Amino acid sequence: MTAYLDHAATTPMLPASVETLTCHLHRTANASSLHTSGRRARRVVEESREQVAAALGAGPNDVVFTSGGTEADNLAVKGLFWGRQDDATRRHRIVASAVEHHAVSDSVEWLVQHEGAEVEWVPVDGAGRIDLDAYRDILDRDPDSIALVSVMWANNEVGTLQPIDEVVAAAKQHGIPVHSDAVQAVGSVPVDFGDSGVDAMTITGHKLGGPYGAGALLLRRGLDLAPVLHGGGQERGVRSGTLDTPAIAAFAVAVDTAVAARPSQAPRIASLREELVAGVQARVPGAVVSGDPDPAGRLPGIAHFTFTDCEGDSLLYLLDARGVECSTGSACQAGVPQPSHVLRAMGMDDTQSRGALRFSLGHTSTKTDVDAVLEAIGPAVERARNAGLASRAHGFVA
Amino acid sequence: MRVLAAMSGGVDSSVAAARTVEAGHEVVGVHLALSSAPGQARNGARGCCTIEDARDARRVADVLDIPFYVWDMADRFRQDVMDDFVAEYAAGRTTNPCVRCNERIKFAALLDKALALGFDAVATGHYARIVDGPSGPELHRSLDPAKDQSYVLAVMGREALGHALFPLGDSASKADVRREAQALGLGVSAKPDSHDICFIPDGDTRAWLDARVERRPGAIVDATGTVVGEHDGAVGYTIGQRKGLRLGRPAPDGKPRYVLDVSVVDNTVTVGPSDALRVTAMDGATPVWLDTPPAQGAELSVQVRAHGEPVPCKVIRADDDLVSVDVTPGLTGIAPGQTLVLYDGARVVGSATISGARRAAA
């Protein structure tokens, strides 16, 4: 039996979403075609658009379907940056939190390297929440030179929520557009695009029970945004490419279902998480929990630990061998977890962050999953510590 | 047994992993990431540390249906193998980085971590045999003498030997191993062999080292101390070297001259005739014994290069601090830093780092 605790990477598809996807895969038509079948497909897309919009407090015309979170983040960051340049004004600064997902931070870095952008990373506190004073100082310093602000709704590694209301309020004073990557937030915490005042918001299917390869950028109408993909002019001319009707329909069902289920699911998941955290801390003295200790300040399903003198990849192997699937939380390069920029921004040194492990719970999580972790964690940490010490020693020969 | 199969993504380690699975062990595949900035693709035949190689290893693990992980040992590798190679070169010593990697990474850091994680043994794609002897496992040359890698493994020590598996040691030839890979449906069956030093992808070891070690011009002298030429840095010279000396005047006897000695401290290169290169006795420091040290007077053979021929030798002294052997009628091209490996027939007796040599004339 496998205990799956990596919902923040991908959560299992909801049965309703699978059913919708398979149902539409049997039908043929390009949603841009003008004939009867095309119109039928277009109707599915437009109803899906309305479904997504309604679930998230947006208007149907705010929804731009994409291939997922990475594309939506790229479109928001690059599209807003380019859209805000004109002959009269050079808005070359980008303000982003130091804990953004790589889809945002690497897009920003690319603009810095290739398009003459300048970046201001907003520092975070020990819990991973942005320093609002520092943020406001950055904005006040020549606000006319700022192209956009990008601050994620909730962090994917440690689960900390960002003060989106304050971020938006300060940016609005200067007329600066705000993008927020809400990939981890939708379905886990209340998210209302309209009320939030953000101008662009990233969501994706596979983090909330929908299919892979389907997501959206919610984009306030009237916002000047340069397209990244050019072609047939679909999606307001902002995102060309034939619409993936089955995936869009299944994605919309998942958004609707996940948002509707949130009031009952989130507390259930939160209490499983509390049980997991308390259990791990009881079995592994010295296990450090990262992120906001206040449940109101974080996602209900993420439990992020650092185990001193351990390497995350050793722990991952030992738990995997015992049927417990989790993550080190940070990005991998060719299978090797890289030191987490999030933990670094939170003030953790790289030695400590090597012992990071993220358990993330979701809609299919049960007490059995938590029990599996608690049964495996003690011996796994003990063994990983020995391995950590062994690989620091000089080996047999010396 | 629970066995960790080290998988480089090459055909040898892939078949070694397959044979370990076939033997009924519980196998987990591990690819070592040895570069902190790996290249995307292989360049020709060389290298073993690209992302493409990691993917090849992963695909073999998929086919064998074993768990697979990538372990990051890039820091250790840089320190213990690459930096060490540069430092030894700068100190005028000739080392073999593959020997170092086996000594400090594969059969030290990797094996230690594997054992600590609960594995019983590490399997690699080396060509060597482990034979049960009267006093425990023995390291022997592989069945195919053309592929034998016992030389680069001789530094691993007895304890590590007890936790090592070399499933390819009994292979009749590399062609057999490739055929086996093909029969198993492993995509790497036709992959080119890796050669030379994995972290120097273009194969130009000298250029790689020269980019990392400062060279100062100095004198080339003969055995009497007379200056006979100038060099652009003593570190660049190897004992036995003939080419590139750029000596203007011919030697009085008209015979070619060779590098006899390199002193990095004095930045001096000493040259002389080929007779003077012949070494008849050698000392080795920090010996590693795979059995009890041989008795004084024991008649063994000694090999001083990975692809060198073994020559007969007689043990003068062999203990935990030093090994000293007579090699009559003599050996050429002996430089400090090289690893000497003692064999009793096909069996590895021990190894040591060459620390001194005595010449026939001396």
CB contact under 8 A, B115 and A390: yes
Q: Cβ distance B324 to B283 under 8 Å?
A: yes
Closest among A161, A152, A130 to A202, alpha carbons compared: A152
Per CATH, the architecture of A3-8+263-392 is what? Alpha-Beta Complex (3.90)
For A185, the token pair is: 């937030």
Mean pLDDT, rounded, of chain A: 95
Least confident span in A194-198, B44-48, B236-240, B353-357: B44-48
Interchain CB contact of B111 with A (< 8 Å) = yes
Across the range A96-119, mean pLDDT stands at 97
With CA atoms as reference, the chain A residue closest to B156 would be: A397
Average pLDDT of span B156-167: 95
- Is some CB atom of chain B closer than 8 A to the CB atom of A282? no
pLDDT for res B203: 81
Cβ contacts of B108 on chain A, cutoff 8 Å: 394-398
Position B6, amino acid: A
What is the C-alpha radius of gyration for chain A, rounded to an integer number of angstroms?
Answer: 22
Other Cβ atoms less than 10 A from the Cβ of B23: the count is: 13
- Judging contacts by C-beta atoms under 8 Å, the chain B residues touching residue A336 are 33, 70-72
Closest residue in B to A320 (Cα–Cα): B67
What pLDDT score was predicted for residue B46?
43
State the smallest CA–CA distance between residue B236 and chain A in angstroms.
Answer: 29
Residue to substitute from B72, B107, B119, B155, interface A, most A β-carbons within 10 A: B72
Per-residue confidence (pLDDT) for residue A397, from 0 to 100: 31
DSSP string of B58-115, one letter each residue: HHHHHHHT--EEEEE-HHHHIIIIIIHHHHHHHTT----HHHHHIIIIIIIIIHHHHH
The structural domains of chain A, with segments of one domain joined by +, span: 3-8+263-392, 15-257
Q: From CA A155, how far away is CA A183, in angstroms rounded?
A: 9
Of the partner residues A335, A390, A398, the one whose CB lies closest to the CB of residue B113: A390
The CA distance from A270 to A385, in Å, is 29
| B313 given a catalytic annotation | no
**Interval B260-315: pLDDT, tens:** 988 888 899 999 988 888 899 999 999 999 989 999 999 999 999 998 899 999 99
Q: Is A326 a catalytic residue?
A: no
Question: Length of chain A, please?
Answer: 398
The beta-carbon neighbor of A393 closest among B28, B112, B288 is: B112
Low-confidence winner among A304-308, A385-389, B179-183 (lowest mean pLDDT):
A385-389
CATH superfamily assigned to domain B214-276: Adenine nucleotide alpha hydrolases-like domains (2.30.30.280)
Q: Check whether B235 has a pLDDT greater than 90.
A: no
Q: What pLDDT, in 10s, does the model give residues A62-88?
A: 999 999 999 999 999 999 999 999 867
pLDDT of A394 reads: 45
**Which of B201, B215, B203, B352 shows the shortest CA–CA distance to B288?**
B352
CA dist A314 and B69 (Å) reads 10
CATH 3.40.640.10 holds for A15-257: yes
Contact B259/A at CB under 8 A: no
Using a CB–CB cutoff of 8 Å, tell me whether B31 touches chain A: yes
Under 8 Å CB pairs connecting chains A and B tally to 80
Q: Does the CB of B162 have a partner CB in chain A at under 8 Å?
A: no
CB B94 within 8 A of CB B308: no
Same fold, B2-205 and B214-276: no
Identify all chain B residues contacting A389, using CB atoms and an 8 Å cutoff: 116
Percent above pLDDT 90 for chain A:
89
Among B205-209, B249-253, B337-341, B345-349, which stretch is predicted with the lowest mean pLDDT? B249-253
pLDDT tens, position by position, B189-215: 888 877 678 888 778 888 889 899 988
Q: What is the pTM of this model?
A: 0.89
Residue B48 — pLDDT band, cuts 50, 70, 90? low
Strand B322-331, strand B311-318: pairing: antiparallel
Which residues, 6 or more positions from B340, have their beta carbon under 8 angstroms from its beta carbon? Answer: B282, B284, B302, B303, B304, B323, B325, B351, B352, B353, B354
Query: What are A165-188's pLDDT values in tens digits?
Result: 999 999 999 999 999 999 999 999
The whole-angstrom separation of Cα A67 and Cα B322 is 66
Q: pLDDT per residue over A183-227, tens digit each?
A: 999 999 999 999 999 999 999 999 999 999 999 999 999 898 999
Domains of chain B, residue spans: 2-205, 214-276, 278-359
Taking the CA of residue A395 and the nearest CA in chain B, the distance in Å comes to 4
pLDDT at B86 over 80: yes
Q: Is the CB of A314 inside 8 Å of chain B's CB atoms? A: yes
What element of type H or E holds A180?
Answer: strand A178-181
Q: Do B118 and A383 touch (CB under 8 A)?
A: yes
A5 alpha-carbon distance from chain centroid: 16
Q: Which of A317, A334, A387 sits opposite B33 (nearest CB)?
A: A334
Write out chain A residues lying below 8 Å of B116, CB-based.
383, 386-387, 389-391
Instruction: Provide, as residue numbers in chain B, all residues whose Cβ is less than 8 Å from the Cβ of A384.
Output: 117
B59 touches chain A (CB under 8 A): no
Which residue from A333, A387, A396 is facing B116, i.e. has the nearest CB? A387
Class for the domain spanning B2-205:
alpha beta
- In sequence order, the 6+-apart residues with CB closer than 8 A to the CB of B91 are B264, B337
By the CB < 8 Å criterion, does B58 face chain A?
A: yes
Token couple for A280: 């791990």
Chain B interface includes A310 (CB < 8 A) = no
Contacts of A338 (CB under 8 A, 6+ apart): A330, A331, A332
User: If pLDDT is split at 50, 70 and 90, which confidence band does B362 have?
Assistant: very low
Per-residue confidence at A121, pLDDT binned at 50, 70, 90? very high
Q: Which residues of A touch B113 (CB under 8 A)?
A: 314, 387, 390-391
Q: What is the pLDDT of residue A164?
A: 98
State the catalytic residue, choosing from A23, A310, A326, A332. Answer: A332
Cα–Cα distance list, A50 to A61, A63, A259 (Å):
8, 8, 14
Could you report the per-residue pLDDT of A304-356, keeping only the tens digit for each?
999 999 988 899 999 999 999 999 988 776 677 788 999 999 999 988 999 99
Do B38 and A334 lie within an 8 Å CB cutoff?
A: yes
Q: Which residues in chain A are contacts of B157 at CB distance < 8 A? A: 396-397
> Which chain A residue lies closest to B103 (C-alpha atoms)?
A397
Mutate to test the interface with A, among B31, B112, B119, B158 (most CBs of A within 10 A): B112
- Per the CB < 8 Å rule, is B109 touching A314? no
All residues of chain A having their beta carbon less than 8 Å from the beta carbon of residue B160 are: 396-397
Residues counted in chain B:
362
Catalytic residue, from B49, B98, B101, B313: name it.
B101
B84 CB within 8 Å of a chain A CB:
no
- For residue A381, the chain B residue with the least C-alpha distance is B117
- DSSP element (H, E) containing B160: helix B158-161
The CA distance from A2 to the nearest CA of chain B, in Å, is: 14
- Give the CATH H-level superfamily of domain B278-359: Translation factors (2.40.30.10)
Q: Specify the pLDDT at position B39.
A: 66
> Where does chain A have alpha helices with state H?
15-25, 36-55, 69-83, 102-114, 132-140, 164-173, 193-196, 245-283, 312-321, 341-345, 350-353, 367-392
- DSSP classification of residue A209: T
> Cβ of B69 and A334 within 8 Å?
no
Backbone angles phi, psi at A339, to 5 degrees: -55, 135
* Chain B residues closer than 8 Å to A340 by CB: none
Catalytic residue among B48, B49, B98, B198: B198
